[in-house]
Structure 1
Amino acid sequence: MRTFVTALAALAVIGLGYWAYHQTILTQQALREVDRLQRAIGAEHERLSVLRAEWAYLNRPDRLRDLADFNFDRLGLMPLAPEQFGDVIEIPYPLPEPDPADAVEELLLENASTPEGRDDP
């Protein structure tokens, strides 16, 4: 019986050692993947900053003004005038949806304010 327990304990130690080694390998792979992803994120941040700088460079007001002047006839642009702008009052905002709870509350208040049993118009 003692040999069986010793063999079982040895198998358990070997199994746990294998499991621990396997978990170490999985952890190292996960760490390598995290490092790879962090490098990719850094590269994308750098690329994004370059794109933002290019966008800012291309959208300079003096450059856009020169392009608009250069292509004025071909694009059929018209000069800006104050009459082309509208007022905020002219914006057609959608009406808010009626709240069903408000309708029920109004109905209850209306029924509560009229005494029952009166025939007076």
Structure 2
Amino acid sequence: MRAVLYILTTLSVIGLAFWAYRENYATQQALSDTDDLRAEIRIAHSRLAVLRAEWAYLNRPDRLRDLAELNFERLGLLPLLPDQFGQIDQVTFPPLPDLPLFEITDGVDVSTMEAPE
């Protein structure tokens, strides 16, 4: 009986060691993948910073004004003037459409229901 117990204990320790070995390598792989993703995120952030700088450089008001003057015949763009801006209450919004309302009931008679207090 002791021999069987020793064999089962030894097999359990070997099984747990194998499981711990596999988990260790899975954890190391997950950490490596995380480091790779963080490196990709850093590269993407640096690319985004460069793109934002380029966008700011290309959208300089003096450059856009010169381009608008250069291409006035084709585009017909005029510079913005302060009197072209208005207040939000001066904007006329379209009326909201009248949509039919539907009540979802699961077999409950709505006419007999009381209002919550």
TM-score bin, normalised by smaller chain: 0.7 to 0.9
TM-score w.r.t. length of structure 2: 0.72
- Comparing 66-75 with 77-86, which one deviates more in the overlay? 77-86
Deviations 1:6-45 (A, max 9, x none): 0000000000000000000000000000000000000000
Q: Which amino acid is the alignment partner of residue 27 of structure 2?
A: T
Cα distance change on mapping 1:27 and 1:80 into 2, 3 Å: closer
Cα distance change on mapping 1:81 and 1:2 into 2, 3 Å: closer
Give me the identity figure in percent. Answer: 56
How many angstroms does 1:90 deviate by? 2.0
CA distance in 1, matches of 2:68, 2:43: 35
**Residue in 2 aligned with 1:10?**
10
**Residue in 2 aligned with 1:114?**
none
CA distance in 2, matches of 1:30, 1:21: 14
Tell me the C-alpha RMSD between the 2 structures.
2.2
Cα distance change on mapping 1:34 and 1:87 into 2, 3 Å: closer
Higher relative contact order by CA 8 Å / sep ≥ 6: 1 or 2? 2
TM-score w.r.t. length of structure 1: 0.70
CA distance in 1, matches of 2:23, 2:31: 12
CA distance in 1, matches of 2:63, 2:22: 61
Unmatched runs of 5 consecutive residues or more in structure 1: 97-121
**Residue in 1 aligned with 2:69?**
69
Aligned length: 96
**Is the radius of gyration larger for structure 1 or structure 2?**
1
Higher helix share: 1
Cα distance change on mapping 1:39 and 1:48 into 2, 3 Å: same
Cα distance change on mapping 1:6 and 1:46 into 2, 3 Å: same
**Residue in 2 aligned with 1:41?**
41
Give secondary structure in 2 for the equivalent of 1:5: helix
Q: Which amino acid is the alignment partner of residue 26 of structure 2?
A: L
How many angstroms does 1:78 deviate by? 3.8
Deviations 1:46-91 (A, max 9, x none): 0000100000000011100110110111212245456644443321
CA distance in 1, matches of 2:94, 2:3: 85
